[in-house]
Amino acid sequence: MTTDAGVPWLIVGLGNPGPEYAMNRHNVGFMVADLLAERIGGKFKRAGKAQAQVIEGRIGPPGPANRRVILAKPMSYMNLSGGPVNALREFYKVPVANIVAVHDELDIDYGVLRLKLGGGDNGHNGLKSMTKAMGADYHRVRFGIGRPPGRMPVADFVLKDFSSAERKELGYFVDRAADAVESLVIEGLERAQSTYNS
């Protein structure tokens, strides 16, 4: 991670494009990216050849803590996320350690956040594709969705919408995840972990 305010950060919300996937558990990364876009005050636009939608902006208070960010949603489907992300990384000259992937996580209870740098993909196809494209040394904001009930296959569970009970708190949890991303970029991983790895 670089603290040089001139070096941009690439914040990637992982999900699947298309209205039929919009409220799926697997698309919580897109939900967080959409909220961050609102906060920046921009609209996503197609990013040239990168097969992604992006917004360029800044987050943080004026002064040395202010950060240039590129907010991205790959439009390639989850299991092919690595190609668009790597293309954006090369185009914007972002170090791998200045990339943040926001994604759903089965092994964490619903709504719980875990922030970390590097590590395995834990069977997550979006992370698997990103790691294959550029190595594993990027940041992750892991948004807990819990395990499937009974014998429901994982693939069915992640591609289902959040339940009505979950949706009651979803806005709060997405808001908190967006706060965690901002904290990570502005204050660094350790500070963000101490606040959000609850």
Residues belonging to the active site: 26
Residue with tokens 């609850």: 198
The DSSP result for 125-161, as a single string, is HHHHHHHHHH-S-SEEEEEE--PPSTT--HHHHHTSB
Written as six digits, the tokens of 41 are 């005050």
- CA dist 190 → 179, 187, 196 (Å): 15, 8, 10
For residues 114 and 111, what is the distance between their CA atoms, to the nearest angstrom?
10
Residues contacting 20, CB < 8 A, separation 6+: none
Strands 9-13, 99-105: pairing is parallel
Q: Which of 64, 63, 45 is nearest to 55 (CA)?
A: 45
